[in-house]
């Protein structure tokens, strides 16, 4: 490589496909927007391949996706592994009998729900979402899965915001965490 413009490296990373929108949904929040990653076929494939990488050869029975962007990633991963997909949704969206769990996140409070018959005790599940910030969403999901007796083998995210501490919280629960990229600051 001589550094000449025509020799520019074209290998993009997952992070290269993510855009940042300042002050969304509130002033001071740097919103890490994965719609640009999902919209690009190479970006989407790269993200799915990299999310799956640590789980090659590992037994997984179901993929659990956290609303909303975890549904897109989790659905693609479940399809790739030939496994079923289970959604954890915001309150009031699931039609069957549910378990509920309240939680706080970077910019608010909410309640997550899962169908009580979605997972059998002892099933091995992988939890997927686009982004780990405070960890409130993921911990709420883990509490729901624990109540169902699921065996959670790990949590996979595209983005980690380390300054918000979610990774430390999950690792403090002895939960293996896999993230593809991170953004310092908030």
Ligand X SMILES: O=P(O)(O)OC[C@H]1O[C@H](OP(=O)(O)OP(=O)(O)O)[C@H](O)[C@@H]1O
Is residue 106 flagged as an active site residue? Answer: yes
- With CB under 5 to 8 Å by kind, the binding choice for 100 among ligand ADE, ligand X, none is none
168 is annotated as an active-site residue: no
Q: Indicate which residue of 32, 69, 89, 167 is catalytic.
A: 69
Binding of ligand X by 166 (CB under 6 A): yes
Residue labelled with tokens 């949904």: 25
- 32 contact, one of ligand X, ligand ADE, none, CB 5-8 Å limit per kind: ligand ADE
Q: How far apart are the first and last CA of the chain?
A: 36
Task: Answer left, alpha or beta for residue 137, where phi above 0 means left and psi between -120 and 50 means alpha.
Answer: alpha
Among residues 69, 144, 158, the alpha carbon closest in space to that of 111 is found at 144
Give me the 133-162 binding string for ligand ADE, x by CB under 6 A, dash otherwise: x-----------------------------
Place of tokens 């899962």: 114
Peptide bond into 148 cis (omega under 30): no
Q: Among 131, 139, 140, 170, which residue interacts with ligand ADE (rule: CB under 6 A)? A: 131
In 3D space, the residue among 178, 176, 165, 177 whose CA is nearest the CA of residue 133 turns out to be: 165
Contact 79, 137 (CB under 8 A): no
The single residue among 30, 105, 111, 153 that binds ligand X, judged by CB under 6 A, is 105
- From residue 116 to residue 145, the character string flagging contacts with ligand X as x (rule: CB under 6 A) and all else as - is -------------xxxxxxxxxx-------
Q: Does 169 participate in binding ligand ADE (rule CB under 6 A)?
A: no
Asked if residue 167 binds ligand ADE (CB under 6 A), the reply is no
Q: Is 27 helix (H, G, I), strand (E, B) or coil?
A: coil
Residue of 32, 89, 106, 120 with catalytic role: 106
């Amino acid at each position: 490589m001589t550094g000449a413009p025509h020799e520019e490296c074209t290998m993009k990373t997952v992070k290269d496909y993510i855009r940042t929108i300042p002050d969304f949904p509130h002033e001071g929040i740097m919103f890490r927007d994965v719609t640009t990653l999902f919209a690009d076929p190479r970006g989407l494939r790269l993200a799915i391949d990299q999310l799956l990488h640590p789980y090659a050869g590992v037994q997984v029975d179901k993929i659990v996706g956290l609303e909303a962007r975890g549904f897109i990633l989790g659905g693609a991963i479940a399809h790739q592994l030939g496994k079923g997909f289970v959604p954890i949704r915001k309150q009031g969206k699931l039609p069957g009998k549910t378990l509920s769990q309240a939680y706080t996140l970077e910019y608010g409070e909410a309640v997550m729900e899962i169908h009580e018959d979605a997972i059998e005790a002892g099933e091995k599940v992988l939890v997927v979402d686009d982004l780990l910030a405070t960890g409130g969403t993921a911990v709420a999901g883990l509490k729901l899965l624990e109540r169902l007796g699921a065996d959670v083998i790990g949590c996979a995210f595209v983005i980690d915001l380390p300054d918000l501490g979610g990774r430390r919280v999950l690792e403090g629960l002895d939960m293996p965490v896999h993230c593809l990229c991170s953004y310092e600051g908030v």
